[in-house]
Amino acid sequence: MRYAMAIDTKKCVGCSDCVVACQTENNVPIGYCRDWVVEVMDGTYPQLEIEIRSERCNHCENSPCVRCCPTGASHYSDGGIVLVTPDECIGCGACITSCPYDARYTHPEGYVDKCTFCIQRVAKGLQPACVSVCPTKCMYFGDMDDPKSDVSLILKKRKYKTLIPEAGTKPQLYFLI
Amino acid sequence: MREEIIVSGRNNPLIDPVLHIWHWQIPLYLFLGGLAAGILFFAALYRIMGKEDKYPAAVKIAPLLVPVFLVLGLFALFLDLKHKLYFWQLYTNIKLQSPMSWGAWTLMAITPLSFVYAALHIKEIFPKWDWKFQFLKDFEAWCNKYILHMSWIIIVLSVILGVYTGILFSAFNARPLWNTSILGPLFLASGLSTGAATIMLLSKEKAERKLFAQIDLLLIVIELFLITHMFMGFLASTQVQIDAANLFLGGPFTYSFWIFVVALGLVLPATLEVLELRKYHVPVIIPAGLVLFGGVMLRFIIAYAGQASRWLY
């Protein structure tokens, strides 16, 4: 099993619903966020091109955060989801520093926190909160090992890219282009 | 033109707009750890070579400071932790791929050893010191019997400690400035150099001061060589590492790095040491103080600049 997410940059309008849904579902402390929306503007007026991406932890297959964690608090869970066990985390910041996507932060209680692909929902067969609320249905989530999953089907049809593949992290967030 | 902005207003504390998760605690600890490693290295080296009477400051006096440096450094590390009460989790497993785990275990081994080594030499400062209890006296005699074995262990651990202070940074490929294996040897050389400077400060023997001035001079030359190589490597590498080098070549860290680290921390003390070796009289506090100052600045600037360097996508 290998969970992954695909985000259609052609359909995303940057409404930030995914961000609010995540904060609500996961009780993210005020002033923090586990996912965010990036807008890239390319070119010179009037030849402009825009790309909008909803970003979060890439749940990398070769995670620098899991590698750098001195206690094993950062670990791979079912389906390659990268998680932090709060009671094992010492809050040293090594994983935060090691993440090229800056996807982690220190929770006000001291441990490190991040996107969990809403593992509590996924375990029940539901979609992650961000995917389930997207008004343009631009996000796809599922098991890459299952050829019939939403994410496998859309990646077969469309061209896609990942973020900083040259960092060697094997990210599992696919952006349809 | 390409402009990239987070439109959902992400402002995670200590992460945005640029990473600033590590403050003074980490570079201070790296300095103290490197200094402790340097002093222990020379103490163990000259102990093994049987020169404890020729170089008393290196073998017997300077190591008395090491427990203080290590405890202060560890305390700084502890202050840096955000989930402090769980610090003991460091010692529930060994993670070979995590430099921080290596460091934690090395410190676990070298700190008590440094206390024992210092205790064996406390009579150098307090000649009337009495251990009071017979079992402590027995333990002291036992340690003195095996002091050469202990020195071999210390010399290996001190090199690991010195290299680790650099590897800690270089393991993070997310920060292109740190992601160079030169940092390990550079921080080791700098740690040995600050250790030699401390021994120079404490030494009362002319021959010993001369030897450590020569050692320090050699280490400074090695550091300058490694810094040159670091920049050559960056400039011949990928765009993110070129950008990282440019933090020091016209970027925000240019003046602080070239003035405080290279000019005041390396070139000036080296010049003064050359003058001293050529029989001009230079008060030892000036070159030694400058080397220590340069060591502190190197860690602080690399720590802060590294967090400002990043991948762009």
pLDDT tens across B216-247, in order?
Answer: 999 999 999 999 999 999 999 999 999 999 99
**Given the DSSP bridges, would you call strands A3-8 and A139-143 parallel, antiparallel or unpaired?**
antiparallel
Q: Which of A168, A160, A166, A167 is nearest to A53 (CA)?
A: A160
| Assembly ipTM | 0.92
| CB-CB under 8 Å, A16 with B6 | no
Count the domains in chain A: 1
At a CB cut-off of 8 Å and minimum separation 6, what does B63 contact?
B39, B40, B43, B114, B117, B118, B121
Number of Cβ atoms within 10 Å of the Cβ of B150: 18
Q: Which of B194, B193, B217 is nearest to B282 (CA)?
A: B217
Give the residue on A whose Cα is nearest the Cα of B310: A100
CATH of the domain spanning B25-81+98-308: 1.20.1630.10
Using one digit for the tens of pLDDT, what is the confidence trace for B106-163? Answer: 999 999 999 999 999 999 889 888 888 999 999 999 999 999 999 999 999 999 999 9
Of A42, A89, A168, the CB nearest to B173: A168
How many helices (H) and strands (E) in chain A? 6, 10
| CB-CB under 8 Å, B313 with A164 | yes
A48-65: burial string, b at 16+ Cβ within 10 Å, e else = eeebbbbbbbbbbeebbb
Q: Which residues on chain A are in Cβ contact (under 8 Å) with B99? A: 68
Q: Is B173 on the interface with A (CB under 8 A)?
A: yes
Question: Quick check: helix, strand or coil at residue B12?
Answer: coil
- What's the pTM? 0.94
Using one digit for the tens of pLDDT, what is the confidence trace for B258-278? Answer: 999 999 999 999 999 999 989
Enclosing domain of residue A23 = 3-176
Of B5, B95, B307, the CB nearest to A70: B95
d(Cα B290, Cα B284) in Å, to the nearest integer? 10
- The residue assigned the tokens 């404890």 is B52
Averaged pLDDT in 10-residue chunks for chain A of 177 residues: 96 96 96 96 93 96 96 96 96 96 96 97 96 97 96 96 94 96
Q: Which residues on chain A are in Cβ contact (under 8 Å) with B86? A: 87-91, 111
d(Cα B4, Cα A162) in Å, to the nearest integer? 16
